[in-house]
Structure formats: C-alpha cells, structure tokens
Amino acid sequence: MESIFHERQEGSLCAQHCLNNLLQGEYFSPVELSSIAQQLDEEERMRMAEGGVSSEEYRTFLQQPSVNMDDSGFFSIQVISNALKVWGLELILFNSPEYQRLGIDPINEKSFICNYKEHWFTVRKLGKQWFNLNSLLMGPELISDTYLALFLAQLQQEGYSIFVVKGDLPDCEADQLLQMIRVQQMQRPKLIGEEAAQSRDQRLLRSDVDQAIEVNHPFDGTGMLDEDEENFQRALALSRQEIDMEDEEADLRRAIQLSMQGSRQSEFSDSLSQNVPQSPHTSQTDALSSEELRRRRRVHFEKQQQQLQQQDQTPKLHDKPTLTSSTPQADPDGDMSEEDMLQAAMNMSLESVRNDLNTEEEK
C-alpha cells in the first residue's frame, strides 16, 4: 500500500486531507482553500447587499463570522464542492431521494466523501478494491466489496453525511498499479489518537514505575552494592557447598577403593594359603635351631670345596702348573688364562666364606 497517497491529520485541516486523498496528490493547500472560502463569502455579501447595505440583515451579516472557514482550518461543504468543480467533479448526497431513485449499488461508484460535524474523510476505489482514506488513521484501511454497503450504513447510523463523487477522477499511480494486483491487509491500521494514547500511557506507566522504584529503593549507590554483595555471598556459599560435596565424594571413593584393595589382598592371601601346600621340609626348617643351620651350611660349603679341589687335581688341557687353593701363581710367560683367573676367583670366594663361618663359630 505504499503507492497509495495518504495524508495524516494535521490540526483541523481535514477538508484539505480529504480532497488530496481523494485526488491522490497534493492538489490543494490551506491557502487555496481559504481563497475559495473568501470568494464564497464575497458572493454571499453581494447577495445580501442587494437588499440594501443599510438594512438590518446586511449589518448583521457583516458582524457574523464566515460560515465557509474558521481560524482552526475548517472548511465548509461549499468550499469542498467548489474545489472539486475545478476537476469537473460533482457531489450528490448519498441518502437523498434523487440519488436513491437511481438505485445505484455503492460498489459501482468510484468514491465517497463523508462528513460528521467538522471532520471530513474520503472512501475511494483504487484499482478493484476499496480503501478508507481517513486522515485520522495511521494508513489506508482496506474495505472488502461485501463490507462496503455495511460500512456506509454504519456511518449513516452514527450521524455522518455521505456524498457521492460523480465524474472522472484524475489518473494516479495507485489506481494503475492496483488494476493489475490485489493487496491484502492482515491488521487494521490504528487511529492516530489511539497510537498517541498508547504511547502516552506507556510513558506514564514507565514514569510511575520509575518513581515507585526510586521511592522504595532510592539510588544512592548502596542498593546496588548491597545487591552485588548479596549475590557474591550467595555464589560463594554455593561454591563452598559444591567443593564440600566434591571432597566428600572423593573421600568416599577412596574409602571404597581401599576397602576393595584390602578385600582383594585378603582374598589373595587366603587363596595362596589354601592353594600352596606347606612342605615338610619348610616346616622342619622353621623348627631347626640356629646351631643346626650353621652346621649344615658348613658341611655344604666343605663339600663344595672338596669338589673344587678334585677339579684342580685333574689334568688341564694346557700344560700349565696348577694353582693352589690359597694364592694363584703365574705361568712361565707371566700370563694367566681366563680359566685360571676364574678358578682363582672361586677359590678366593670360598676362602672368604670359610672365614665367615669360623668367625660365627667363635662367637
């Protein structure tokens, strides 16, 4: 609907808005309508003067204000009718007997001008659809064909005078565009006063709420600080609770883990004790005294020494002198073989063991 020309209400210039919305353009201004009104006043004065300028009626006429316009911007039906004559248009009263005898369906007309007290507005057909171009609305209002007759009847019941505009209206962009397409309107446009009242009520409501907040909680900086401090303490308490719960859960998990480990160890020990038999030798060894153990170790080492001495008396592969059990001797060349060095190391180890045993016996 952006292509539709629609003037919104300014002051009391509803007659100007009515004409411009009808013609779909800025065709008339307050100055031009005032000029038409003054011309009508002069014509009426001249008619009154025909009866005598000294007559009481003439002097009374001069003292009365103009009936065609006033200082607020209101213009009479005579001014509107004379303005439309410039474009070859004529106004006929919709509910007059003359028009009613024609039996014309309102849907077949092109436009209507409606008046109630001092307010004027236009209802016009653009393309194939009807629109209410009331300047008190925020935008054009789409009127369906089936609703048009009911809409006009409702206006008559409310006291409106309805005039049918006869003649060819000037071409306009909106009429040409809407001949090709049809528009849809999801929501009826609001009244300018309704929009302003809602905005005023919202401002007053916000002001009342702000005042109530200021009275109950004066802004001195402490309120915000107290609220921030309270939020901080609450967050800190929640954090501590979460930490305590985490610590308790951790301790519980550790206790369960240790308990399971202990049970596993005890089960493992029991299974070992049950599965591994105790040999008689082991129990017998546990029962032996320290003297018996010392004696058996000594016998064991003496047997090993005898075996080593027997091995020393066997002929070597190389014709080399034999080594004594106490000190190694070098061969004629001054070198020792690996076998001789191993034998000497074993002898020294046996000698050290023997000395330890003797020391223990003396003790």
Catalytic-role residue among 6, 14, 20, 132: 14
> Do the beta carbons of residue 113 and residue 91 sit within 8 Å?
yes
Residue whose structure tokens are 């985490």: 246
Q: Apex CA 128: angle with CA 122 and CA 133, to 5°?
A: 20
pLDDT of residue 134: 97
CA atoms within 13 A on the CB side of 80: 30
pLDDT of residue 258: 60
CATH 3.90.70.40 given to domain 15-194 = yes
Per-residue pLDDT tens over the stretch 83-137: 999 999 999 999 898 898 888 899 999 999 999 988 999 999 999 999 999 999 9
Question: Does residue 114 have an active-site annotation?
Answer: no
Q: Which of 343, 349, 351 is nearest to 320 (CA)?
A: 343
d(CA 300, CA 293): 11
Mean pLDDT across 12-16: 92
Cα 172 from chain centre: 45
122: helix, strand or coil:
strand
Q: What is the mean pLDDT of the chain?
A: 77
Phi, psi of 309 (to 5 degrees): -65, -40
Amino acid symbol at 143: I
d(CA 89, CA 166): 6
Phi, psi of 41 (to 5 degrees): -65, -40
d(CA 22, CA 37): 20
Per-residue pLDDT tens over the stretch 287-328: 456 677 667 767 766 776 777 677 656 544 444 444 344 444
Catalytic-role residue among 20, 68, 115, 134: 134
d(CA 297, CA 288): 13
Question: Does residue 134 have an active-site annotation?
Answer: yes
pLDDT of residue 288: 54
Amino acid symbol at 225: L
- Write out the E strands in 182-321: none
Amino acid symbol at 95: N
189: helix, strand or coil:
coil
> Do the beta carbons of residue 138 and residue 192 sit within 8 Å?
yes
> Do the beta carbons of residue 103 and residue 111 sit within 8 Å?
no
Model-wide pTM > 0.75? no
pLDDT of residue 298: 72
Catalytic-role residue among 17, 20, 114, 119: 119
